[in-house]
Structure 1
Amino acid sequence: MLQRQRGRVWWGAGAAVAAVGWGAQQFAPLLLMYRAELGVSGPTVQAVFAVYVVGLIPGLLFGGPVSDRYGRRPVVLAALAASLAASALLLAGGHGVVWLFAGRLVAGFASGAGFSAGAAWVRELSAGTVDGGERGPRRATVAMTAGFGLGPLVAGVLAQWAPARTVLPYLPHLLLALAALPLVRRTPETRSPVAGGGSLRLPDLSSRRFRTVVAPLAPWVFGTVAVGIAYLPGLVAPRLGGYVLIFCTLITLLGAAAGIAVVPLARRVARAGSRRLLATALSIVVVGLLVAALAAATTDPLLVVAADLVLGAAYGCCQVCGLTEVQRIARPGQLAGLTAAYQAISYLGLAAAVPLAAADHVVPPGVLLLGLAALAALTLAVTSHAERSTGA
């Protein structure tokens, strides 16, 4: 019984990470809806989507060090409050695009602070359980990915069929985040506040393994997500008729489900050594991009679904690999800060769809994705060599 209670102690932190992830991704399937509702241009809608990263990076880089100094709970509670504020701003988005910009910016900051402190909290709460070193990164990945998948699913379904389509999609997240607040308050703190003054320090990135293995891997975590849910659906949109919104919702859900489903496999591979997990993760990225290239060349919606499933699996495996590596190399007191640095680099991958969309007017999308697959293969070769030279 005691072991079972210890196994559940991370649930409050996990619920917070899932709630923040829900708030981060609920906007994804609604892009085309706002373009029609507000009459704004495509580039404006894409700018609304991208401004999330502007808030995310400082949230990641400062949320981790702040939680290292003052504790996980205060930062996670603040992130939940910011996530609630973001959805409240997005509720007003039907009245003007400025509310969407504000809501996405705040959502980015909430995600940065919540993911850096929350993921570290989940891993620390898992450390006292059997196989805690393996389960911590897995639990953090599952919590984050569950929010990423369920948020767009619920928001997309409500936007497709419910009334008040610019309001109702955000209400479930408000309820979820409110419900997570008391759970977080009851979750044990794992970091005591550090006494004394002094300025906050940005994460120490001096580790050679971080610079040569983790950093090159990181952009592929969300680079696969960008290709799967942001780039590929637009290529087949003319063939979907009035079902573009629900197709985008389905794609987002399937990608997240694949990311969760692959986690047990990643855990088993990790037991055989970090080298094998790294090779497996990046190999799945290469395969997913090859399938994506075929889908782009044929503009077949079913192939887009297939590519999205493989890319979702690549996301999950890369995320477990990256978090496991960070946990391995982080020095005492620096776990959240180094996690934040890793996640900041990983989120740069969300920009992958921008150059692809800009270039596919002169280069066929299938060729562009083949080039991206070649870049992933090069990353596999480089990081595998670096992994051998820095030790398993």
Structure 2
Amino acid sequence: MSILTAFSTAPSPLYSLYRRQNHLSSITVTVVYAVFAGGIVASLLLVGHVSDWYGRRTVLIPALVTGLAAALIFAVSTSLPALLVGRVLTGLALGAATATAGAYLTDLDAGPNGVVTRRAQIVSTVANVGGLAIGPLAAGLLATYVPSLIYVIFAVLLVVALVATWRSPEVRPLPAPRPRYRPQRLAIPAAARAQVSAALTGDFLVFTVYGVFAGSASAFLSGPLHRTSPALAGLTVFFAFGVGALTQVSTATWPLRRLLALGVPVLIVGLAVIVTAAWVQPPSLALFLAGAALVGVGAGSIFRSALTTVLTTAPPNDRAALALFFVVGYLGLSVPVVAAGIALQHATFKVLLLTFAIVVAAGILLASPRLRRLTTDN
């Protein structure tokens, strides 16, 4: 899973390079991002749940093959048609694998009566956020030398993951007879409606922050700071996501109440620091990195709370409920970024960043009563 998530964010620090090479407008880059997001959501809705019926490996293997095809396309060409096709395939692969990999992990490391273990929760969250962090860092560092090399490396890693998945056991018994295929129905489990609804709220807001931060890092560095280095852009995104992953590991034993008490205020402060970094004269890279760290702590805490809630409240025989969690998350990751790309045609980066921070902070404050529901019975 971490290989696919890393592969999905690897192009983040390279978009400025692609824009110069292919003479792309900001709106065209937004379209490339939109087709990636569309692939994720479509795949989650169409196949994100069928591993409950046909087996985890049956879904994961085609997903990895699809990701491998995308990596080979990028390794050969980064023209606009290649970017569009490759990003659609990446989205389809990630959407199919996201919920399935999390469900497979809980199958392999389930506690008594199918209860999700804390170890499975930690590995699942770190694999997602850690992968998001590693992709931009690796791509940014290698872009200085051979930009296409990162995709060759990911192709090799995906082959390794494919072989490992092929050799892994299918431990969950499959239903007999198997249900007739139908697309995923996005319904919150009735037995845990309040908890899951609150988790989805935090999920959407956290992915929104991650998405806009990843999309704005290069714009901030190349715009106000006049630094066009892909390595620096990748390092900045890695810093935020890496701190988020580290936060999830270091707070593994914390109850949900304590995680949220940390995450909500720290995330708001982090957004304020990032906005300040863009508005002070001269703009400050140090402040931007400090804000990135705070955002990583806040977002990582809320994300682990939300995902843990879904993992522990969804019925053991309906692990595909994770598809709903990730549909909401990736909508949060994509829709605001697409909107930001359109808004940049009419507003400056600083105004857009300030507007985003105000909207997200207001959303977090308004959602706080619902987020506190995550602490019920925890």
Fold similarity call, TM over 0.5: yes
Specify the SS of the correspondent of 1:262.
helix
2:75 pairs with 1:91: yes
Q: Does the 8 Å contact 1:124/1:136 carry over to 2? A: no
Q: Does the 8 Å contact 1:232/1:296 carry over to 2? A: no
2:207 pairs with 1:222: yes
- The 5-angstrom pairing of residues 102-121 of structure 1 reads 102-121=85-104
From the superposition, tell whether residues 224 and 266 of structure 1 become closer, same or farther in structure 2 (CA, over 3 Å): farther
Paired residues, number: 365
**What letter corresponds to residue 162 of structure 2 in structure 1?**
L
CA distance in 2, matches of 1:59, 1:241: 38
Deviation, structure 1 residue 366: 5.7
Which of these residues, 237, 253, 257, is aligned with residue 252 of structure 1? 237
Q: Which residue matches 2:33?
A: 49
Deviations 1:280-301 (A, max 9, x none): 3333322222222222322322
Q: TM-score scaled by structure 2?
A: 0.88
CA distance in 2, matches of 1:285, 1:149: 18
**What letter corresponds to residue 202 of structure 2 in structure 1?**
L
2:356 pairs with 1:375: no
- The 5-angstrom pairing of residues 231-380 of structure 1 reads 231-270=216-255, 274-298=256-280, 299-335=283-319, 337-350=320-333, 351-356=335-340, 358=343, 361=347, 364-365=351-352, 367-368=354-355, 369-380=357-368
Query: Sequence identity of aligned pairs in percent?
Result: 27
Structure with the higher fraction of residues in helix conformation: 1
Q: Does the 8 Å contact 1:156/1:249 carry over to 2? A: yes
Deviation, structure 1 residue 92: 3.7
From the superposition, tell whether residues 188 and 279 of structure 1 become closer, same or farther in structure 2 (CA, over 3 Å): farther
CA distance in 1, matches of 2:85, 2:322: 26
Deviation, structure 1 residue 219: 0.9
CA distance in 1, matches of 2:68, 2:232: 27
Q: Does the 8 Å contact 1:284/1:314 carry over to 2? A: yes
Which stretch shows the higher mean deviation, 147-156 or 191-200?
191-200
Cα RMSD, aligned residues only:
2.4
CA distance in 1, matches of 2:234, 2:6: 13
Which stretch shows the higher mean deviation, 310-319 or 110-119?
310-319
Which of these residues, 129, 138, 146, is aligned with residue 145 of structure 1? 129
Q: Does the 8 Å contact 1:26/1:152 carry over to 2? A: yes
CA distance in 2, matches of 1:230, 1:133: 34
Q: TM-score scaled by structure 1?
A: 0.85
CA distance in 1, matches of 2:118, 2:241: 21
CA distance in 1, matches of 2:171, 2:185: 20
Q: Which residue matches 1:155?
A: 139
Q: Which residue matches 2:55?
A: 71
Deviations 1:328-383 (A, max 9, x none): 22113211x21110011011222334444517827834642234222212212333
**What letter corresponds to residue 165 of structure 2 in structure 1?**
V
Q: Structure 2: give runs of 5+ residues left out of the alignment.
A: none
Deviation, structure 1 residue 62: 3.2
Q: Does the 8 Å contact 2:67/2:93 carry over to 1? A: yes
CA distance in 1, matches of 2:167, 2:122: 22
CA distance in 2, matches of 1:141, 1:341: 16
Q: Does the 8 Å contact 1:228/1:312 carry over to 2? A: no
Which stretch shows the higher mean deviation, 373-382 or 217-226?
373-382
CA distance in 2, matches of 1:279, 1:332: 29
Deviation, structure 1 residue 228: 2.2
Deviation, structure 1 residue 49: 1.9
Deviation, structure 1 residue 226: 1.9
Q: Does the 8 Å contact 2:277/2:284 carry over to 1? A: yes
